[in-house]
Amino acid sequence: MSLDADWRADIDAVDAALIDEYQSGFPVEPRPFERVAREVSAETGIDVDAGEMLDRVRDLRERGVFRRFGAVLNPPVIGSSTLAAVRAPEDRFDEVAEVINGYRQVNHNYRRDHEWNQWFVVTAGSREKRDAILAEIEERTGCEVLALPMLTDYYIDLEFPVVNADRFARESGEARSASDSASGERSDPRASETAVSATRISEDARGDLAPVEADLLLAIQDGFPLTATPYADVASGIGAPLDDVLAAVDRLLADGCIKRIGCVVNHVVTGFTNNCMVVWDVPDDELDERGEAVGSLPYVTLCYHRPRRPEQEWEYNLFTMIHGREAEAVDAKIDELAAEHLPVSHERLYSTETLKQTGARYEDLVADGDE
């Protein structure tokens, strides 16, 4: 789905507040849209109620501005996930993509301008399940799979301020967080969720989930119901008391199993169409220092360590993503990265086609006591 070029002309101050301010930090309480209405009314000076806010979210989703509403799950904490790639022959490219996209556990798949031309993410409740899916894909497609699980997370933030004229995804978020902190107003929820640090990731992560938490994550992985009482509706669906579900959501946010709750923007149709994954060959003893430094830059949306695979002629160990509106501006920032921060061998892998894009999806999750 694509939006008209002048779609912003139909966006008023209330819509703008929803799009740019509620991609995270959505209230965890029985009637969350009531608080959102109060906050947006105070910010914009426009009197809106909870029913109107709910209708606006529904409308923005139907128009393609939002992909979904709900929780963004964190696969490396909940279970086991990996980035993977294949070298799909051009005459079989669509056939290979159909096989890969047929797995529910594949939540992203992109064509990239590289010898390894199809890049996808597999999420599963366990490492064993993840590896079984990769083996099946290799067998069914006849294509060797390059598996690159995340080993260290330096910075990940996929919130996109789309109403303003920012050229890169993080520009105004950094400034808004600092301004809110100084004024004592509602702080940018991203400030606490995306602090730059070297966080080690285990391929055998299981999330230490209580049964209600496992049930909850499975129920919300495709989004929350767009109702006045989304948490109560989820609670009813899994047969749990509302208070238990609210407490579980708070715990999952605190533990990192849920990265954020809010409206998930369709960044491509809202202007961030030039997205480049850059891979770098960084000396191992410099990796954390350089990863944290690069992750702090206001135009880098993702920065993480993945393994080299010398047996598959893959020499790169640091991955960065830049999401921008203009290809020339993205290339200029990559030049800046190479000249000032990462003076090492690198390659630029632009995404040229979105083959699949959903939230993380699981068939099952391991809860404490299930093993």
Q: What is the mean pLDDT of the chain?
A: 84
Exposed/middle/buried for 96, CB within 10 Å: 0-12, 13-18, 19+?
buried
- pLDDT value of residue 194: 47
Tokens representing 350 are 């632009």
Are 303 and 351 in contact by the 8 Å Cβ rule? The answer is: no
Q: What radius of gyration, in Å, describes the C-alpha atoms of the chain?
A: 21
- pLDDT value of residue 177: 41
- pLDDT value of residue 253: 92
Is pLDDT at 84 greater than 60 in this prediction?
Answer: yes
Section 293-322 average pLDDT: 94
- pLDDT value of residue 273: 74
Reference 349, options 113, 115, 168; nearest CA is: 113
Higher pLDDT, 296 or 179: 296
Are 65 and 3 in contact by the 8 Å Cβ rule? The answer is: yes
Are 255 and 247 in contact by the 8 Å Cβ rule? The answer is: no
| pLDDT tens per residue, range 189-214 | 433 344 666 787 767 666 578 899 98
| pLDDT tens per residue, range 331-356 | 999 999 999 999 999 999 998 999 99
Q: What is the pTM of this model?
A: 0.74
- pLDDT value of residue 168: 47
- pLDDT value of residue 157: 63
| pLDDT tens per residue, range 223-279 | 999 999 999 999 999 999 999 999 999 999 998 889 889 988 876 665 667 789 999
Is pLDDT at 147 greater than 80 in this prediction?
Answer: yes
Is pLDDT at 182 greater than 80 in this prediction?
Answer: no
Is pLDDT at 130 greater than 80 in this prediction?
Answer: yes
Task: Find all residues with CB under 8 Å of 52, minimum gap 6, and list them.
Answer: 14, 37
Residue 31, CA distances (Å) to 34, 62, 277 in order: 6, 22, 39
- pLDDT value of residue 164: 52
Q: Predicted confidence band at 107 (pLDDT cuts at 50, 70, 90)?
A: confident
Instruction: For tokens 């999420």, name the residue.
Output: 123
Is pLDDT at 33 greater than 90 in this prediction?
Answer: yes
Is pLDDT at 90 greater than 60 in this prediction?
Answer: yes
Is pLDDT at 115 greater than 70 in this prediction?
Answer: yes
Is pLDDT at 185 greater than 80 in this prediction?
Answer: no
Tokens representing 304 are 């993480």
Reference 259, options 11, 2, 66, 71; nearest CA is: 71
- pLDDT value of residue 131: 96
- pLDDT value of residue 199: 80
Is pLDDT at 34 greater than 80 in this prediction?
Answer: yes
Instruction: For tokens 């959102």, name the residue.
Output: 36
Please, which contacts does 7-11 make with residues 24 or more away whose CB atoms are closer than 8 Å? 7/63, 7/65, 7/270, 8/163, 11/163
Q: Strand 258-265 to strand 66-73: parallel, antiparallel, or no bridges (unpaired)? A: antiparallel
Section 57-67 average pLDDT: 88
| Cα separation, 66 vs 68, whole angstroms | 5
